[in-house]
Homo-oligomer: A and B are copies of this chain.
Amino acid sequence: MTTPKNTGFEAQPYYGICTFGRQPHTRDLTGVDVAVVGVPYDGSTSYRSGARFGPRAIREQSLLLWGYNNALDVAPFKAQKVIDYGDVDVVPPDIVATHTAIHDEVSSLVKEGVKVITLGGAHSIALPLLRAHSHKYGRLAVIHFDAHPDTWDTEFGEQKYSHGTPFRRAIEEKLIDTSAYIQIGIRGPTSGKKDYEDAIALGARMITIDDAMRMGLGGILGEIRSRVQNKPVYLTFDIDSIDPAFAPGTGTPEVGGFSSYQILQLLRGLKGLNLVGFDLVEVSPPFDHSNITSILASNIVFEFLSLLAVNKQPV
């Protein structure tokens, strides 16, 4: 992308073409540290569709990110080379073809050593993303923010691939190091007692929202660090881990979740972990209002970028 002429004024949030954080939209990976990639797929949603517009809305609101992270003392767009890679070409009526497209596109980035931050899309996309990262890094520690365990065996009858099943599939495919798999924010009615039991039996350390409120931020972060240690970590973030008051624009909202302040504190507490990949999923703009969900989502991605940038800085 040719850089626009700068007439001497700084770019304001209402100005210009919407790439993530105004970073260049390119597929040239030369020197690239981090690529933001969109996956506009919502075909696996069990309630409210619309997450296909998640990447677009998050990009749009990301123009409000002024660039410097005071809490982490880092300027993530300056400390590293970030690009907006654009979107994966998904196939709405065919989840298997979609998974292949995601895997192939993202693998081509991961294997070049580019760190990928994926903007969903429904949570089903985590499976091909974990595959792509596991090829490079082996079994992954996984920090999983969510209201739901997403470890069902099937959904919609006998469907193996859907937004309620990706982490069971990933465990079956040995993509996840279950000793370092932690779920945070789980809550809400489930289809039965077995939903939690199954997740735990599969190896997840489940921190429900009640656990989280009891443990406090320090307790949660301690638990994360003790499990994850210095292993390569994939961070998968379902926006519905946050309360619908703060993040209404999502597909299967669950009341009684985290506030945005709590989430920012938790994310900043991950500083120094060996983070190798990220996704942020289930932002559904048609159910958002005044963009508060996509503004929050763009800030979460900004924290992801900052965590990567902090790791890159000399000690």
Contact digits for A1-43, partner B, Cβ 8 Å, 1 yes 0 no: 1111111111111111111000001111000000000101011
Find A45's partner among B48, B68, B92 (CB 8 Å cutoff).
B92
Q: Which residue of B lies closest to A7 (CB)?
A: B89
- The copy count of this chain in the complex is 6
A110 to chain B, nearest CB (A): 16
Q: B9–A157 contact, CB under 8 A?
A: yes
Residues A189 and B1 in contact, CB atoms below 8 Å apart:
no
Closest Cβ–Cβ distance, residue A114 to chain B (whole Å): 14
Q: Which of chain A's residues 81-96 have a Cβ closer than 8 Å to chain B?
A: 84, 86-95
Q: A295 at the A/B interface (Cβ < 8 Å)?
A: yes
Bound Cα distance A46, B261 (Å): 24
Residues of B within 8 Å of A260, CB to CB, are 243-245, 255-256
- Is A158 part of the contact surface with B, judged by Cβ < 8 Å? yes
Which B residues lie within 8 Å of A259 (CB)?
243, 245, 259
Determine whether A222 belongs to the interface, using a CB cutoff of 8 Å to chain B: no
A67 touching B191 by the CB < 8 A rule? yes
**Which chain B residues lie closer than 8 Å to A187 at the CB level?**
70
Contact, CB under 8 Å: A286 / B17: no
Chain A interface secondary structure, helix, strand, loop or mixed?
loop
Check if A40 sits within 8 Å of B14, measured CB to CB.
Answer: yes
CB of A208 within 8 Å of the partner chain: yes
A178 to chain B, nearest CB (A): 21
A209 contacts B261, C-beta separation under 8 Å? yes
Distance (whole angstroms) from the CB of A263 to the closest CB of chain B: 8
Closest to A46 in B: B12
Shortest CB-to-CB span from A146 to chain B, Å, is 14
Check if A198 is an interface residue, CB within 8 A of chain B.
Answer: no
CB nearest neighbor in B for A76: B189
Asked if B8 contacts A158 (CB within 8 A), the reply is yes
Which residues of chain B come closer than 8 Å to A220, judged between CB atoms?
Answer: none
- Given the complex of chains A and B, what is the CA–CA distance between A112 and B104 in angstroms? 43
Rounded to whole Å, the gap between the CB of A272 and the closest CB of chain B is: 18
* A207 interface contact, C-beta 8 A: no
In the complex, are the beta carbons of B213 and A261 less than 8 A apart?
yes
Judge whether B53 and A91 touch: CB under 8 Å.
no
> What is the CA–CA distance of A64 and B93 in the complex, to the nearest angstrom?
19
Does A277 belong to the interface (CB within 8 Å)? no
A257 and B261 contact, Cβ closer than 8 Å, known pairs A56-B18, A161-B93: yes
A7 vs B244: C-alpha distance in the bound complex, in angstroms?
33
A218 at the interface (CB under 8 A from B): no
| Bound form: Cα–Cα A253–B93 in Å | 20
Query: Is A188 interfacial (CB-CB < 8 Å)?
Result: yes
- Chain B residues positioned under 8 Å from A59 (CB to CB): 17
Known contacts A90-B156, A287-B290; can you find 8 more A-B pairs with CB under 8 A? A50-B50, A67-B192, A70-B187, A70-B196, A213-B261, A243-B246, A253-B290, A256-B299
